């Protein structure tokens, strides 16, 4: 194995060592950007939603696990969980921004 920087071999042979985090971290995706995930609550919360449903950010709020909310995301989001026909924390799930 060789380590090349700007076209110049700076090391060869041996193995690459480092923390798993520095070697496996993918591209950093900013919160509320296309492809990002968010823990969001559907408002109003008294509607059943299934995996794959989509909603505009104007119908969602950033949510804590306990159900407290603040602010709304931009764009359109796809549900990666399930939301029962209940209020509060039970209306919170994982969403991914798709547009």
Could you tell me the two tokens for 48?
A: 């059943």
The HSE-up count of residue 91 (CA atoms within 13 Å, CB side) is 20
pTM of the model: 0.67
Q: Please name the residue ranges forming H helices in the chain.
A: 20-24
Alpha-carbon distance of 67 to 61, in angstroms, equals 10
Q: Please check the confidence at residue 27 and state whether its pLDDT lies above 60.
A: yes
Q: Please check the confidence at residue 75 and state whether its pLDDT lies above 90.
A: yes
Q: What is the pLDDT of residue 82?
A: 83
Alpha-carbon distance of 73 to 17, in angstroms, equals 39
């Amino acid at each position: 194995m060789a380590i090349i920087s700007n076209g110049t071999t700076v090391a060869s042979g041996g193995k690459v060592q480092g923390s798993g985090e520095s070697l496996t971290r993918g591209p950093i995706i900013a919160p509320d950007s296309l492809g990002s995930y968010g823990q969001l609550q559907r408002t109003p919360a008294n509607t059943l939603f299934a995996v794959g449903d989509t909603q505009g950010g104007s119908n969602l709020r950033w949510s804590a696990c306990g159900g407290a909310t603040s602010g709304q995301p931009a764009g359109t989001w796809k549900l990666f969980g399930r939301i029962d026909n209940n209020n509060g924390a039970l209306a919170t799930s994982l969403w991914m921004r798709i547009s």
